[in-house]
Amino acid sequence: MVDGLLGLLERVAAMPVGQPFVGGRSGTLDGPGFAARARELAAGMRAAGGAPGDRVVGCLEHDVDLAVFPFACAWLGALSVLVNPRLKIDQVRHIIGDADPALVLLSPARRTGLGLRAAPDLAGAVPLRTIGPVDGFEPLDLEAPRPEPVPDASGPTTILYTSGSTGQAKGIVQSGRSLADGARIVAGYLGLTSSDHVLGVLPLSFDYGLNQVLAAAHSGCRLTLLSYLFAADVAKKLRDLACTGLAGVPELWVDVVDALENGVVEASGLRALRYVTNSGGRLPERVIQHFDTHLPWVDVFSMYGLTEAFRSSFVPPAELRRGRRGIGFAMPGVVLDVVDLATGRPCAPGEVGELVHRGACVAEGYWQKPELTVHRFRPDETGLGPRAVHSGDLARRDADGYLELLGRADEQLKIGGYRVSPDEVVDVVRAVDGVVSAAAVGVMAGLDGLPQLCVLVQGAVDGASVVAACRSALPPWMVPARVSVQAGPLPLGPNGKVDLAAVRGAFVEGD
């Protein structure tokens, strides 16, 4: 049995003929058709000059061929680089310049969306061997053998770029084995089977979104990819397709709950929905309560992960229903330790330290950034794997081993001598009547350059009410110095999460 992405492709090829596997705007492929398309695309890339070890960039729509793309690259022995369809031309140029690919697959729709007159316009100063639209490849030998020898699943297979909301996007190198392990583990605790039908709305360039494709390949379930403008479209598609699962980020769930409360779709129309998952930030209490009250048959999995380790932990639905929050327990095959930032010693229950991920799903490191790789990816002295990821996230665990995330170490503020976690403030603000969403950031202000805690709120509420709620629930040093309220959505990054750099910039520009 082959491991890694090729092993997952073998599972897909063995699915029953005619059983839908992955669908999107362009149509639906069954498992054997999906595998044949991967071989076809690999043959086309080889004919265009691609070779084992090359990087190949896929600049395609959120559709079937983008799901096929990483498997085709694995067949060729090349590293796939998936580009978020929501990125603009300068962001795409950055990724191409950083990845230094041999080949860019550019679909006609993305070329038009990027405002390009012709494919070579994308290259700029970047030397590329070939640029060609994916539908320009003529079908070659669909039975072409895999490259020999079969690529080692433990070696590099994919480069995932971070969203870049706080700086230029960084490439994180994943092995086929870590991706396949993440698919197996997540499919296992979600209980995915061939009878499930998952709606995929997250970008596949996002590790969380890519996992939807890989978990579907592992379990043999059906996946429908959807590009949407409004959350109401997501709710309607869940109903119309009788989907059983959906993965989202907090901002999507807030909008979906709004659509449900406004009667866009009746809760009874989602009787087929079996589970939902959240990652990329804390799940708002309002969302949890809505599912508990109106969709009690749906299991809500609150998950945590970072691109450097793909998937890390989850809160079992029963624990969430009992009122437990945080990031829960490490998923099977993973060990999560909390260590002192200064000494590296293990923290006692209740102590705050850095979260360290060991075991399954650890990435290979950062692409072309050896110093940063050494800082974050360190030898795992426990022997669970060759390396451990020092996440930069602050956490603490209780006596039962249950983990609570307190935010990024580099986003912690020191106000009046006290450390402040913006996420704790956001939790309080989101509970205020009229608040739809919120984000808290630190902004240097005044002649002394001391940090101020600033909160940006979406909703029908006034800033004084937000400050009053914080004063009643939080100590003085956690009460925001400035609150700005807007009617429309908060600025979002390409993966659908709040863009903290843009939030911070809004306060700086307002000074």
The closest of 311, 254, 313 to 288, measured between CA atoms, is 254
For residues 243 and 370, membership in a common domain is answered with: yes
Which residue from 408, 441, 425, 424 is spatially nearest to 341, judged by alpha carbons? 408
CATH number of the structural domain spanning residue 485:
3.30.300.30
Which stretches does DSSP call E strand in 360-502?
365-366, 377-379, 387-397, 403-408, 413-415, 418-420, 435-445, 450-459, 482-486
Looking at the fold, whether 137 and 53 belong to one and the same domain comes out as yes
Residues 392 and 470 in one domain: no
d(CA 441, CA 456): 8
Q: Determine the pLDDT at residue 397.
A: 92
Domain end residue (candidates: 107, 130, 162): 162
Let me know: does 96 contact 120? Beta carbons within 8 Å: no
**In a domain? residue 79:** yes
Cα separation, 197 vs 244, whole angstroms: 5
d(CA 157, CA 153): 8
pLDDT tens-place values along the chain, 511 residues long = 568 999 999 999 999 999 999 999 999 999 999 999 998 888 888 887 888 999 999 988 999 999 999 999 999 999 999 999 888 888 888 898 899 888 888 887 787 777 776 555 554 433 333 334 444 443 334 344 444 545 556 689 999 998 654 457 899 999 999 999 999 999 999 999 999 999 999 999 999 999 999 999 999 999 999 999 888 999 999 999 999 999 998 889 988 999 999 999 999 999 999 999 999 888 888 899 999 999 999 999 999 988 898 889 999 999 999 998 889 999 999 999 999 988 889 999 999 899 999 999 999 999 999 999 999 999 998 888 889 999 888 889 999 889 988 777 766 676 755 667 788 888 899 989 999 989 988 876 654 455 788 899 999 999 999 999 999 888 787 899 899 999 988 998 887 888 888 888 888 765 5
Q: Residue written as tokens 């839908």?
A: 20
Output the furthest CA–CA distance in the chain (Å, rounded).
Answer: 70
CB-count exposure of residue 232 (10 Å: 0-12, 13-18, 19+): middle
The total of other beta-carbon atoms located within 10 Å of residue 345's CB is: 10
Last residue of a domain, one of 162, 180, 197: 162
Q: Answer yes or no: is 206 within a domain.
A: no
Counted domains in the chain: 3
Same domain, 332 and 370: yes
First to last CA, the chain: 61
**104-137 burial: b if 16+ Cβ within 10 Å, else e:** bbbbeebbebbeeeebeebeeeeebeebbbbeeb
Do 418 and 442 form a contact (C-beta atoms < 8 A)? no
Query: Which residue range is the domain that position 141 belongs to?
Result: 4-162
For residue 44, which of 31, 26, 58 has the smallest C-alpha distance? 58
